[in-house]
Amino acid sequence: MYTIVTLATFVTMGLALVRAVLGPSVYDRVLAVNMFGTKTVLLLSVIAFLFGRPDFLDLALAYALINFIGVLAVLEFFRSRSLRRRAERGATR
């Protein structure tokens, strides 16, 4: 039964990868990475039970906690980039 969920997650990871490679906009890629992260958390929690070592859920917990940082870093990157561009435009005017 775990195998079915694992396979579904695998296929979804593949689909998210398709989205990340195709794009087209950078936001699509961020979305794909975020989705990939959630799917990895699910995959790791299910596989921990599939292999019979539920004490390894720490790994999924780590991802559940810090995947968010990547998205925020991207957000901050966009924000500082738009500020920089505005400043450059102001300077050349």
62 to 81, contacts with other proteins by CB under 8 A?
62-81
Residue 26 in the binding site for other proteins (CB under 8 A)? yes
3 in contact with other proteins (CB under 8 A): yes
* 55, 89, 92, 93: which one binds other proteins (CB under 8 A): 55
Q: How far is the CB of 89 from other proteins (least distance, A)?
A: 11
DSSP 33-88: HHHHHHHHHHHHHHHHHHTT-GGGGHHHHHHHHHHHHHHHHHHHHHHHHHHHHHHH
